[in-house]
Structure 1
Amino acid sequence: MHFWATASDVKIKTCNVLQGDIFFTPSSEMPYDIALSAVAMENMNSVCYSYHIYRFRIFEDIDLQYRAYMFKSSSFYEQANVACEGSGKRYVISLSKFKDLTVYYPSDKKEQHAIATILSDMDNEIAKLEARRNKYKLIKSGMMQKLLTGQIRLVKPLAPIIPLETPDAQIREIPLQTHVVTGHIVNALYQSSGWGRTKLQKTLHLVGYHCQLDFGNDYIRNTAGPDDQAMMNHIDSKFKQYRHVRIEVKKENGKTRYNYIPTAMIDELEQVYETYPQTIRHAVDSLINKIKKMDLACAEIVSTLYAVWNNRIIKGEPISDDLLLEDFYAWSKHKLDFSPDQVLCELNYMRKEEIIPIGWGKYIDKK
């Protein structure tokens, strides 16, 4: 349905809206809503303001952005509240009393602009925080619906969160973001070449160190590279508990192989991941896209090279291709399965794709 509003030429001329005009509410059901203001940030051709509001046109050179804040002080609102009249159902401030209201402002336009910029930045930050809060409320509401209706059941984890034999099992904490980011990784890589528990852990190692995310990890040297079985067991238990990821376990040639497949409930983790700062998500997703093109061998080589390279940076030791290869082959006898040309190829790839460590985190020297 459309409505057409018309106005006479005189009305259009006398009630026009120009950039910098400030409009006020002269009446409201509550006195604290009197004299609320808004500023026209541009000229509006063929537009008339309503008789329900007051227009204040300033002819002094006052910063445009500052005009949006200059009438929002508590002292100005208090004056308006005292000056308005009403019976409890409707309050009104007359034009004559409105003209008697006083506001103070700095005469220096640069100071006006600086004040307005600070207040505007704070408003933007508050808006972002409120948007995040609203998103979390939606996520909580959805989770409550599924939990309280039995769509999700909090079954006892089938795997221990941290093995009892782990020395620091009682004091170690695995952050929530470990579960969230791991779910995102599974959702992105579960169809990639060489997918399974080993590639998942190599990806977690690279993402955690390269994007500087605290996963509560404590890596040790193991055959295939940096290894933290306590963290992986914790992740497995969370996936089984909340059913975001299905874990398939198979026996092949005497070895146990794990496959991680996202379920329809993975969207719950993705919604939480979307609340992370854009800079973090960009860094994580950029690295994941590079790992997606790697097979298991490449992921293992890159993860191990990253670890030995990172160790040298932290310890302040010299770095060269020969030294990195020496550390790579000293990692375990299993590394002899890879030729020097293959390892150098991956090292060059790391430099080309800027998968280069910056010495963040604890170095891995446990065996």
Structure 2
Amino acid sequence: FPLPPLDIQNRIVSKLNELMKHCDDLERSVIESQNYNEQLLQQVLREALEGKDEVENENLKLVAEDSPMYSVSKDIQKNCDTGDMAILAGYIIKKLSTQNSKDFGRVKLQKMLHLVEYHCQLSSELKYQKNVAGPHAWELEHVIEPKLKSLRFFEIKKDKFGATSKVTYTPLSASNELTSLFNREFKDQAESINNLLNKFQDKTWEFCERISTMYAVWNNRLIRKELFTDEILKQDFLAWDDKKKRFIDVLDHTLEWIRKEKIEPVGFGEYIDKK
């Protein structure tokens, strides 16, 4: 095979080494740019979530109906603004809707937000009230979900099925940032929140409904420092709404599961009552 002179071979090798170094530098620059873009996107999302709209807050006060509240003195692990709660809601959707997306909707999200906030002792602007399906916060649909849509976390669609309806959450481009945002904003609470969410990975929305409702009536008794027994808690559960009677045969199991999983309430948060 014909070969160039040795000095030319050396010059070719030297040039190739120079080009390879240039390629390595370019690859490193691309990776650094990607990391910077991710950090920038997170910062933009964080700033958007933290933005305080005084007009929106005033309108919220005028439109939302207040419920009677009875506060108790308990340690608050984190004070959450609506931006934090949007991250938390998005993280719950991302974590719990993957195994059974057909079963996941607004009802399950409402109940899990309630359980996470009360059990992990977070303080937020969500005001829970008695609803047919358990603790219900008006702010989820009218404040939190609009943030999830505007920040391109999820597309939210409500479909009608006769007399019932179902809300679905479809991930959008920014949803990939939710895990890192959650780990940053809830770094001190992430372990306890994940431990709680893991217990509900394969549970139906109806299971979440009865656990959330039983937790609420139990916690209400603790807040008011009222004596109670399992029979009293079951009576409170059934008195929540007439439609709770469909759970009458599983109430003992509900109490057993709460105790078995060590998620008994401690009287944290505000008393949940009717509108």
TM-score, normalization by structure 2: 0.71
* 1:36 corresponds to: none
**Of the two structures, which has the highest relative contact order with CA contacts closer than 8 Å and spacing of 6 or more?**
2
- Mapped pair 1:352 → 2:260: yes
Aligned equivalents of 1:215, 1:359: Cα separation in 2? 16
**Alignment partner of 1:318 is 2:216:** no
**Aligned mates of 2:250, 2:43 — CA distance in 1:** 51
Matched residues in 2 for 1:213 and 1:247: separation?
25
Deviation at 1:329, TM superposition (A): 0.4
Q: Spell out the pairing of 1:219-230 with structure 2 (5 A cutoff).
A: 219-230=128-139
1:148-167 CA distances to partner (integer Å, 9 max, x unpaired)?
Answer: xxxxxxxxxxxx99495325
Cα 1:309–1:241, aligned 2, differ >3 Å: closer, same or farther?
A: same
Answer whether contact 1:163 1:230 (CA < 8 A) is retained.
Answer: no
Alpha-carbon distance in 2 for matches of 1:145, 1:277: 18
Which residue identity lines up with residue 342 of structure 1 in the other structure? V
Structure with the higher helix share, 1 or 2? 2
Query: What's the CA shift string for 1:49-89, capped at 9, x where partnerless?
Result: xxxxxxxxxxxxxxxxxxxxxxxxxxxxxxxxxxxxxxxxx
**In the TM superposition, what is the alpha-carbon distance from 1:273 to its structure 2 partner?**
1.1
Mapping 1:51-200, distance limit 5 Å: 141-143=40-42, 162=60, 165-167=63-65, 174-193=81-100, 194-200=103-109
Structure 1 residues 230 and 275, CA gap change in structure 2 (3 angstroms) = closer
Which deviations, in whole Å up to 9, do the C-alpha atoms of 1:291-339 show, x marking residues without a partner? 1221111110000000000011111111211011010001000101112
Q: Structure 1 residues 277, 197: closer, same or farther in 2, change over 3 A?
A: closer
Tell me how far apart the structure 2 counterparts of residues 332 and 205 of structure 1 sit (CA, whole Å). 18
Match of 1:261 among 147, 151, 170: 170
**Contact kept? 2:223, 2:268, Cα under 8 Å:** yes
Q: 1:338 to 1:138 in 2, by over 3 A?
A: same
CA distance in 2, matches of 1:145, 1:231: 22
Consecutive unaligned residues of structure 1, counting only runs of 5 or more, are 1-136, 147-159
For 2:90, what is the secondary structure of its paired residue?
helix
Q: In structure 1, the residue corresponding to 2:95 is in which secondary structure?
A: helix
Residue 356 of structure 1 aligns to a residue in which SS? coil
Matched, 1:270 2:179: yes
Query: How has the CA–CA distance of structure 1 residues 140 and 255 changed in structure 2, closer, same or farther, with 3 Å as cutoff?
Result: same
**Separation in 1, partners of 2:169, 2:228:** 36
The residue aligned with 1:214 is 123
Runs (4+) of structure 1 exceeding 6 A deviation are none
**Within 2, Cα distance between the matches of 1:255 and 1:338?**
19
Once the two structures are overlaid, the 10-residue window that deviates more, 236-245 or 257-266, is 257-266
Go from structure 1 to structure 2 and tell me whether the alpha carbon gap of 1:262 and 1:237 turns closer, same or farther (over 3 Å shift).
same
Q: Structure 2 vs 1, CA of residues 143 and 315 (structure 1 numbering), >3 Å: closer, same or farther?
A: closer
Question: Are positions 1:286 and 2:195 aligned together?
Answer: yes
The change in CA–CA distance for 1:143 and 1:279 in structure 2 (over 3 A counts) is closer
Offset, 1:256: 2.8
Answer whether contact 2:110 2:140 (CA < 8 A) is retained. no
Residues of 2 paired with 1:140 and 1:343: CA distance?
A: 47
Structure 2 portions without partners, runs of 5+: 1-35, 46-56, 67-79
Change (3 A) 1:258 1:163: farther
Q: Deviations over 1:170-199 (max 9, x none)?
A: xxx953210111111010011344210000
Q: Does residue 343 in structure 1 map to residue 241 in structure 2?
A: no
One-letter amino acid of the structure 2 residue matched with residue 354 of structure 1: K
Counterpart contact for 1:174–1:217, Cα < 8 Å: no
* Matching residue's letter, 1:189: L
Separation in 1, partners of 2:120, 2:137 = 18
- Paired residues, number: 215
Identity score, percent: 34
Instruction: Give deviations 1:193-238, integer Å, cap 9, x for gaps.
Output: 4210000000000000000112311111111101112233211100
Question: How far, CA to CA, are the matches of 1:164 and 1:143 in structure 2?
Answer: 32
Q: Is the 8 A contact 1:205 1:226 kept in 2?
A: yes
The aligned counterpart of 2:154 is: 245
Instruction: Specify the SS of the correspondent of 1:338.
Output: helix
